[in-house]
Structure 1
Amino acid sequence: MLGFQDPVADAIGLLRPRTVIGPSLRAVGDWALRFDTFLHVRIGGLVRGTCWLILEGQEPVLLQEGDTFMLGNPPPYVLASTLDASPSPAESVWARAEDGFVRIGPESEEDLYLCVGHIAFDDSNAALLTDLLPPLVIVRVADPHGRRLALLIDLLATEVGVAAAGGPLVQNHLAQILLVHMLRAHAGRTDRPTGWLGALNEDGIGAALRAVHADVAHSWSLKELAEISHMSRSAFAQAFKSHVGVPPLEYLIQWRMSLARDALARDTLSISELARATGYLSESAFSTAFRRVVGSSPAQFRNQARQPPRSATNVAAGRE
């Protein structure tokens, strides 16, 4: 049986997030660091000081103490003390890290203190979240969620700088909590995004989404979902597509296939068991739906997922 509970928790669980935090940056004087493109999310915040965030295709943003930021599938970007500072590759500077810190310039009580990290997701389902994110989300410390996020950044920075038992585990959990709060802040804005993330704030549509996630094997009809939302079928269908981007029953199919991809990749259920768990009366009906959405049969997808990644040899040899 596949277990589901809440759309945000379900989606993040399927994404299998892998978090790498730090090193933190301490810097004084003129400096600039250029970061390469990264999949899927970068996240960070200023514990102390100010700096510029310069993202290709966007106006430069001045970050101030307590501000947090999230980058979705970001193009190359620069963090800098001033807009005219000449950037150095961040990778080479990061390689000089000691005790969880990178220092630029002499140690000072007035230095900038920046905590950054990245979160990578399982490629097969990463689009569940990354398709909903703009390239840049800034939450100011004065925003409704800002103080809470600033506290999380401060806690995260403390964990990076202390070699304590369980440190990586704490960092991983704090980063995921930070991600959820950033998503809440983003979805709660007046210019909130389309997709399930923003739709959760709509009482009727959110209720329907939660019902689907609570029982994905149920043979949901448009009439049932509209009743849960306390709307007529036509009004519900129009509102759902407006907020989520696809019709209700298409969303159900896409969510079922996301669950199926995850189960096949981990080889936790047979194809016939997976068909029943995702609400299909036969293996052939499930396979037809899977091929339409994913582009391959369930068996082909599972066999491909069993193949070791190209870098597996290097990882085993300790070269990555």
Structure 2
Amino acid sequence: MDAPLSTPLPTSTAWGDPITETLELTGARCALSRGLTAAGDWALAFPAPGRLKIQAVLQGVVWLVIEGVAQPVRLDAGDVAVFAGDRRYTLASDPTVPPIDALPLLRATSESFFHAGDEGRDAATIGGHIDLNTTGKDLLLSALPPLMHVSAATAEAPAACWLMDQTLREMRSDAPGAAFAADHLAQLLFVQVLRAFLTDAKSDAYPTGWLRALADERVAPALRLMHGDPAHPWTLTELARAAAMSRTSFAQRFKDVTGVPPLTYLCGWRMRLAQHSLRRGDTPVSVIASSLGYGSESAFSNAFKRTIGVAPRRYRESARTQ
């Protein structure tokens, strides 16, 4: 790679905050689906949603059973569950109740809430999902555990429940600006979800990746430096100094929490920024190369093709046809 330049990125003034960057790069769009009220003994089986799924309990107790997950999860009022969308799941009053197919109940009404079980309302829950672009699926899903249970006792859960409830109210409202309000409330919900992940990501149960690194007090300062100025020719010595560690200790710890060495991570982050710029507009490849610290377009193109598998211009053309 040629000597890096220090040209700032022509993207957003928010670069440097990895959570804001994630929202920007992943194209994350959070949307609510339907609410459920229930009473008595009930259990509903749902197909795999195919997207990152959020479930918040507003009232009562709801059990979550996910295909392939050994233990059912009890969700009390105020709890939030976030889980991968590649498996079927069941919501129930008790995990021992035989489930019925939820789709006929969903199709039977167009109301924001549908009902299961007996008359009355022992429990109420709201579901939603998060749509991600191709980069987002790679960047975010690989950093998250298959299932996360956010207890009502955490700082993030009450806000997430309120946002889901308020979003659903806006969706049902015919007040001026309701659609705009619902869309932006849903985005705030996703911010709360990411904050909850960050709070819990110190656990060794989390996959290696940028989220665990951001939660690691020793590694996070170096990670923020790379995110804040990706065009800078960072050295292992500079990054280790920011972490107040020796080069060897820092390199090992960084790899333990992210899965890759520091400078490999930096290269990968630059390529994600490049993908974002190539998808968004017509910024010349030479300008993108300079903004990411490459001394020539050819050096950048070679690095991009080596990492992504195609040349930058071919990537841009392909992204426009999707």
Distance 1:217 1:39, change over 3 A: farther
Cα shift readout 1:112-155 (whole Å, capped 9, x = no counterpart): 21111111100133211100111211112134544443433443
Aligned to 1:241: 255
Distance 1:271 1:39, change over 3 A: farther
Residue type of the alignment partner of 1:69: A
Unaligned stretches of 5+ in structure 1? Answer: 310-320
Aligned to 1:75: 87
Deviation >4 Å, runs of 4+: none
Cα RMSD of the aligned pairs, angstroms, is: 2.2
Query: Which structure 2 residues correspond to residues 169-318 of structure 1 after superposition, within 5 A?
Result: 169-189=180-200, 190-191=202-203, 193=206, 194-307=208-321, 309=322
Cα shift readout 1:205-264 (whole Å, capped 9, x = no counterpart): 211111111111222221222222222222221121112211111111111111111222
Give yes or no for contact 1:69–1:139 (8 Å, CA) kept in 2: yes
Aligned to 1:64: 76
Could you tell me how far apart the structure 1 residues matched to 2:276 and 2:102 are?
34
- CA offset at residue 176 of structure 1? 2.9
Distance 1:31 1:120, change over 3 A: same
Could you tell me how far apart the structure 1 residues matched to 2:11 and 2:241 are?
25
**2:85 aligned with 1:95:** no
Give yes or no for contact 2:27–2:136 (8 Å, CA) kept in 1: no
Give yes or no for contact 1:56–1:76 (8 Å, CA) kept in 2: yes
Secondary structure at the aligned position of 1:93 is classed as helix
Unaligned stretches of 5+ in structure 2? Answer: 1-9
Distance 1:181 1:125, change over 3 A: closer
| Overall identity of the aligned pairs, in % | 38
Aligned to 2:127: 116
Give yes or no for contact 2:58–2:124 (8 Å, CA) kept in 1: yes
Give yes or no for contact 1:21–1:171 (8 Å, CA) kept in 2: no
- CA offset at residue 41 of structure 1? 1.1
The TM-score, its normalising length taken from structure 1, stands at: 0.87
Distance 1:147 1:100, change over 3 A: closer
Could you tell me how far apart the structure 2 residues matched to 1:164 and 1:26 are?
24
Give yes or no for contact 1:74–1:135 (8 Å, CA) kept in 2: no
The TM-score, its normalising length taken from structure 2, stands at: 0.87
Distance 1:164 1:91, change over 3 A: farther
Using CA pairs below 8 Å that are at least 6 residues apart, which structure has the higher relative contact order? 2
Aligned to 1:126: 137
- CA offset at residue 164 of structure 1? 3.0
Distance 1:155 1:22, change over 3 A: same
Could you tell me how far apart the structure 2 residues matched to 1:277 and 1:127 are?
23
- CA offset at residue 6 of structure 1? 0.6
Give yes or no for contact 2:30–2:189 (8 Å, CA) kept in 1: no
